[in-house]
Amino acid sequence: MRTSVELPRRVAVIGVGVLGACVGWNLSRQGAQVIFLDADRPGEGVTNWSFSWVNASNKTVRRSYFDLNVAGMAAHRDLADAIGPDSWWYPSGHLRWAGDAAAETKLLETAELLAGWGYGVEVCPGAEARRRLDPAVAIPGEVSVVFYPDEAWVHGRRLVGRLVGLAVAAGAELRSDTAVRDIGTGADGGVRTVGLSDGSRLDVDIVVNAAGPGAARVAGLVDRRLPMRREPGVVARVGCAQVPVRRPLHAPRIEIRPDGDGSVVLHSREVDALIDTGEEPAELARLLHDMGQQVVPGLGDSRVTAARVANRPIPADGFPSVGAVPSVPGYYEAVSHSGITLGPVIGRLLAAEILSGKRDAMLADFRPERFRAHTSHPPG
């Protein structure tokens, strides 16, 4: 077990999305030698193509998961204080309403549960929400709208850029456009080296698998089985002269949020369901744009500027995989959906575990060892 003064000689963080950036920044600021490795550019993958909504209101399936996300929200506020909010942190709250009576009943039941757990919740008629909170949104006047005042949205690419920049200034190294081809282990099975697509090889003490949708492949490099869901989603960005919405919205069929710099982000589970039918991303984006205009008429003069289908990094049971894998000394995982919400808290907790060897109880339900340690092979 390492103590806080016995720092790893070098930590390779594989994947520089929001989780990798948060882990690497926390390690670097505590004196570890960090090298960021990404097959693309920092923050340009799923982090840049997610709804980027910081919340715990959608995380009530397990109390420990809700608590972890609440801690993630608090960690974002702490991070904004530590590095400055700049142009990445937008604590604007979040609006949600339903499209039919059954869905509204469920929404209000969830709001009541959350209030009982001490979560910030306000319920008001649609007419009041439109007048007081978002005048440009076509909310039916008679529906019940739930407002979560403590929620936020994040510009993920800018946050990643800020964290990586600070880490590099503190001595970390960044290698972009460089894929990891293999991970070498020693006689004890522990991590020793990382081989890269440019033919180079790094001597390392620690590997952090924060590779998002590619995490299962990276795990396989140490003979580790990490089962992942296949759950693609499409996000469209819409350019507009003036952003008409003030905060993230969950309308009955579509999710909308501001994106800064004259841009709005659109996402819909309904449109996600069309991905495997073979529809082109441009057509999916057009559908999102049409749906968005029904909720925010001011988007009628806007245009789609970019769209992408990205695979969400979700372990098979839907919960994060965070921490050491005991069967492979020196190998750690930081793999999760809701990485935007969880990045700062996972970054802090995992860095502390790597540097001290102490496992935080908040991660008890999300340990990697709940999955079988090694890859399984079909019987011969």
Question: Looking at the predicted structure, is the pLDDT value of residue 257 above 70?
Answer: yes
Any domain includes 307: yes
29, 211, 320 from 81: Cα distances, Å: 15, 27, 26
Residue 1 lies in a domain: no
Do 245 and 275 lie in one domain? The reply is yes
Per-position DSSP letters for 116-140, written without gaps between them: HTT---EEEEHHHHHHHT-TTS---
- Across the range 29-37, mean pLDDT stands at 97
Both tokens of 23, joined, read 């882990």
User: Would you give the end-to-end CA distance of the chain in angstroms?
Assistant: 39
Summarize pLDDT for 131-161 with one digit per residue, the tens. 999 999 999 999 999 999 999 999 999 999 9
Beta-carbon contacts of 184 under 8 Å, excluding residues fewer than 6 positions away, are 191, 192, 193, 194, 195, 201
CATH number for 133: 3.30.9.10
**Contact present, 315 and 234 (Cβ < 8 Å):** no
65-123 confidence digits (pLDDT tens): 999 999 999 999 999 999 999 899 999 999 999 999 999 999 999 999 999 999 999 99
Q: Which of 311, 326, 351 is the last residue of a domain?
A: 311
**Considering 311, 339, 360, which residue would you say is the last residue of a domain?**
311
**For residue 66, is it within any domain?**
no
Is 67 a member of any domain? no
pLDDT in tens, 285-319: 999 999 999 999 999 999 999 999 999 999 999 99
Cβ contact 246:149 at 8 Å: no
Same domain? 321 vs 301: no
On the question of pLDDT at 6 being above 70, the answer is: no
Share of the chain above pLDDT 90, in %: 93
Residues 161 and 117 in one domain: no
Domain count, the chain: 2
Q: What is the CATH number of the domain that holds 349?
A: 3.50.50.60
Q: What is the pLDDT of residue 372?
A: 74
- Whether residues 340 and 225 fall in one domain: yes
CA atoms within 13 A on the CB side of 79: 33
Same-domain pairing of 238 and 220: no
Residues 29 and 124 in one domain: no
Same domain, 237 and 139: yes
Does a structural domain hold residue 110? yes
- DSSP β-ladder status, 249-250 and 94-96: parallel
Q: Kind and range of the H or E element at 338?
A: none
- Integer Cα distance of 331 and 315 in angstroms: 17
Q: Does a structural domain hold residue 344?
A: yes
The pTM score is 0.94
What is residue 5's predicted lDDT score, i.e. its pLDDT?
46
pLDDT tens for residues 325-335?
Answer: 999 999 999 99
Question: Would you say residue 5 lies in a domain?
Answer: no
Q: Average pLDDT over the chain, rounded to whole?
A: 94
Contacts of 378 (CB under 8 A, 6+ apart): none
CA 11 vs. chain centroid, Å, equals: 22
Burial class, 14, CB count within 10 angstroms (exposed 0-12 / middle 13-18 / buried 19+):
buried
Q: Is residue 375 part of a domain?
A: no
Residue 373 — very low, low, confident or very high, per pLDDT cuts 50/70/90?
low
Please tell me whether residues 207 and 350 are part of one structural domain: yes
Q: Are residues 217 and 237 in the same domain?
A: no
Residue range 28-47: mean pLDDT, rounded: 96
Shared domain check, 208 and 164: yes
Same domain flag for 236 and 302:
yes
Contact 160, 47 (CB under 8 A): yes
Note whether 329 and 220 are same-domain residues: yes
Q: Is 124 exposed, middle or buried (0-12, 13-18, 19+ CB in 10 A)?
A: middle
Reply yes or no on whether the pLDDT at 52 is more than 60.
Answer: yes
Query: Which residue segment(s) compose the domain that 133 sits in?
Result: 91-150+230-311
**Range 195-220 average pLDDT:** 97
Q: In what order do the strands lie in the sheet with 206-209?
A: 173-175, 34-37, 11-14, 206-209, 331-335, 321-324
